[in-house]
Structure 1
């Protein structure tokens, strides 16, 4: 895992996101097709690469976390540039368009921010100091920062945890109230913060003692009424030819009790992206898990963790997105509600990419 973080270097993680999708109730059993025979259409919308997508933006660098609210543009956190880029459109009625980017502060003011996971705040808590306003978006940083935004051209740094490398973030409704959970990949732990951004302890919650010693927490999100935590296996990244299991995904109750682990027939390869497939997508109501390592998106039954399928195009080929990070359903402002939006850091995280997946 630390080898991968070293590759990221000064620029790299989210997106946590809000899964604006039906509750976590699978509509399909194992190997069922859903809309499967029709296939998925992938459309790249924006990138820093020439001739990729419809919009060129040099701030798209290692596009990681992706989040949106019910009526907002989609936010794409770019760990390689220190900005969140905002997009709307790409619906059945509108072409894609871009709004002004938001600067994400770094732990060291002389450095560039490294935003990773992010989440839209659905609560009245998490008020930004000296503003009286709750954060609209909360963004984690690979430099151990938590930043919050509610207006202006820049987010506000509300927390810094020395030595932490936050690679994922989520808002979790627990019996203690809604807490902010940040996945610290360097120290293999989840840090928790109350609605005042004060760090708290949830003793024994969201832990899986059956994990191998070289597994490290990678992402945490509330998805369809449960908390889902992904783990990467560090030694596997050091050996790209390894056939070892290279990731795990656990489902917890929102109070931190382990419910089950996704059954992994070798398909989890550094899993990070998480969402529930929306109603008009393939496998509606099932859990989509995106792999950073091989760029594939696998489908699991959220009720029991059983593997169902890998998303494929209309020719039966797996959908592969180089450097895949975040996944989130569209909201009708950015993408249609039946679509799934994605962010990626292709070419070993040197570039950035935002796009859309649609059922054919």
Structure 2
């Protein structure tokens, strides 16, 4: 059905869609009982030194471990982080670096972010954890009206650019309304912060370290279904992956498939199905940074393929795909195929 939807999105005529709908080759895939995707690991990187087998939460842990070891001003705080956190991303860090550098906070998200802003303004490296992305909304005012605007309202005399906010993000197959949301679009309208979502352990460590080093407040959403499902050979030493640079995972000529986070693995499966069953050559892109996003790479790809399909976990109405599609139509309208 995923491949069929791609064909329909490409504008296949009614007869073609009817044939495909009833074709045995395009029969619905049996319902999965574990996950809605198959994780596809990246090749082992060779440019950053020795690697170690890590899942995504271990890669996040490694990034924070590297930061605490390198930067004596760095502190990590949030609900239960001193005990290792709900997903074990901070396990052992309090014992290793001390209770003054890794510590718990009250159950108050606006307080966590407000405190984090103050720590960053004072000149320290501030890493705040929101226990679930679904809980970030009480801190919305602190993020949008304080952190994002601190530099602007002071005429660049002071800022809270050393603030990074981490939060487990996305669906996991259970978790209901308070543990399954993908709220990245809420912050897509907010100039002054950066929003980043990785697809894998290698990406998670490199992008998180880039967020921590960046001179702007960053929100780093971690796909929680990948915490243990995603395993790769991850460099042990610190390394950075540039922000605001999308990555082309697969070259193609017929259609551009764009996503971020867990959904990247879904569109990679769709690309394989479309090639095998429909003969479509798909260009697959991981956006990685939601804000500010890589307009140039996406529009260049659409100029080549003439078609764009965007997939994300968040609700369709008001989703960030709307912003991307409108920008592409404005900048690459002449390249879009009519059929």
TM-score w.r.t. structure 1 length? Answer: 0.27
Higher Rg: 2
Higher relative contact order (CA 8 A, sep 6+): 1
